[in-house]
């Protein structure tokens, strides 16, 4: 599947969004020419509390045309966004994974996924449901069975299922991840699944594993974008190492859970493939 947005029955593919400069909270023009984010890219948004991260996300979600507080313009596929695309009430450009990641519905995983498909106006598709669960199982250490109740999933299983669901079932082409609890999941794998499905991923995070597993970092201060850092190969390596440490930790937890003894530790991770 790819990132398609339905607007009046016309499907609009989002290949790229472009941020054109606006002003910071002192009214000074932002110092960049343009920032392009392509389909399949992961971009981190970093900065202190109150620096303007939410305004930037709002501008992207609303496809601002110089009419928001920041006066930024967001282009879709190099063009000004269609009015229908901006104001269609049924459309939601940005789907978000918030800090608290719980399910509250008392229903089996399989039935829940088919309910979500139905809400999207799609038919029951057993193959897609199987794929969603399989992909979730690649992110979490403890496999999810289709028959298990959502309320009985562990924290890691819930997060894995949510990420796989957002990649495969959600209508929104842009995914926002806001400081998620990420214990119990393979973070690198999770991001990989999202971008493979052709989503644009924006992450608000200061977690090194996530922040270095991106293409670039947009730095925000005083309501304005002050710079864009391209994630270097060295940083990617550091991120990859910490992800490996996290996964190794998950492995050890699983061994402890199974009642095994662990007498020696691994010290070196595999390089990035």
Partner 1 sequence: MEISNGVKLVIFAGTPGSGKTSVIKYVIQELKADFKLFFAKFDCLKTEDDQFISERYKIPAIKKLAGELCPDHYTALEIPKIIKNNQDKDIIFIETAGLCLRCSPYIEEGLGINVLDVISGEPSRYGPILTKADLVAISKGDLISQAEREIFRANVLKVNPKAKLVEVNGLTGEGTIDIVESIKASPEIKTGKLTLKHSMPSAICGYCYGNKTIEEKAVHQRYLAGKELKNLIPNLNCGKCGFKSCNEFIRAVLDGKTEKEQCPFIKEKLKKIKI
Residues that bind partner 1 (CB under 8 A): 54, 58, 68-69, 89-90, 92, 95-105, 112, 115-116, 118-121, 158, 162, 165-166, 169-171
Q: Nearest distance from residue 172's CB to partner 1, in Å?
A: 8
User: With respect to partner 1, which residue has the nearer C-beta, 198 or 237?
Assistant: 198
253, 197 in Cβ contact below 8 A? no
Q: If residue 64 lies in a helix (H) or strand (E), which one and from where to where?
A: none
User: With respect to partner 1, which residue has the nearer C-beta, 53 or 240?
Assistant: 53
β-partners of residue 227 are 219
162, 112 in Cβ contact below 8 A? no
Q: Nearest distance from residue 107's CB to partner 1, in Å?
A: 10
User: With respect to partner 1, which residue has the nearer C-beta, 9 or 259?
Assistant: 9
Q: Nearest distance from residue 97's CB to partner 1, in Å?
A: 6
CA distance 96 to 175: 6
User: With respect to partner 1, which residue has the nearer C-beta, 170 or 243?
Assistant: 170
Pairing of strands 73-76, 16-20: antiparallel
CA distance 117 to 48: 37
β-partners of residue 226 are none
User: Is residue 178 helix, strand or coil?
Assistant: strand
CB burial readout 32-69, b (16+ within 10 A) else e: eeebebebbbbbbbbbeeebbbebbbbbbbbbbbeebe
Q: Nearest distance from residue 128's CB to partner 1, in Å?
A: 14
User: With respect to partner 1, which residue has the nearer C-beta, 67 or 78?
Assistant: 67
User: Is residue 35 helix, strand or coil?
Assistant: strand
Task: Write phi, then psi, for 123 (nearest 5 degrees).
Answer: -85, 160
Give the residue carrying structure tokens 């106006």.
121
Q: Nearest distance from residue 89's CB to partner 1, in Å?
A: 5
User: With respect to partner 1, which residue has the nearer C-beta, 14 or 169?
Assistant: 169
User: Is residue 113 helix, strand or coil?
Assistant: helix
Q: Nearest distance from residue 122's CB to partner 1, in Å?
A: 11
User: With respect to partner 1, which residue has the nearer C-beta, 45 or 247?
Assistant: 45
User: Is residue 39 helix, strand or coil?
Assistant: coil
Q: Nearest distance from residue 84's CB to partner 1, in Å?
A: 15
């Amino acid at each position: 599947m790819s990132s398609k947005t339905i607007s009046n029955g016309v499907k609009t593919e989002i290949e790229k969004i472009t941020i054109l400069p606006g002003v910071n909270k002192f009214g000074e023009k932002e110092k960049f020419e343009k920032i392009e984010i392509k389909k399949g890219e992961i971009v981190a948004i970093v900065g202190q509390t109150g620096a303007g991260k939410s305004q930037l996300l709002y501008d992207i979600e609303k496809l601002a045309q110089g009419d928001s507080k920041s006066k930024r313009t967001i282009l879709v596929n190099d063009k000004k966004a269609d009015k229908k695309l901006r104001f269609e009430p049924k459309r939601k450009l940005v789907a978000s994974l918030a800090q608290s990641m719980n399910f509250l519905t008392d229903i089996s995983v399989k039935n829940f996924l088919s309910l979500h498909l139905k809400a999207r106006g799609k038919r029951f598709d057993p193959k897609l449901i199987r794929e969603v669960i399989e992909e979730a199982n690649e992110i979490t250490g403890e496999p999810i069975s289709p028959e298990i109740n959502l309320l009985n999933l562990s924290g890691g299983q819930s997060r894995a299922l949510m990420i796989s669901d957002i990649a495969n079932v959600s209508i929104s082409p842009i995914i926002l991840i806001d400081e998620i609890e990420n214990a119990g999941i393979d973070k690198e794998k999770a991001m990989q699944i999202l971008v493979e499905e052709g989503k644009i991923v924006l992450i608000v995070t200061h977690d090194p594993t996530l922040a270095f597993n991106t293409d670039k970092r947009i730095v925000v201060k005083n309501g304005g974008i002050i710079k864009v850092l391209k994630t270097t190969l060295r940083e990617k390596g550091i991120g990859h190492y910490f992800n490996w440490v996290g996964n190794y930790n998950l492995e050890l937890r699983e061994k402890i859970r199974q009642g095994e003894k662990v007498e020696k530790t691994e010290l070196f991770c595999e390089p990035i493939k």
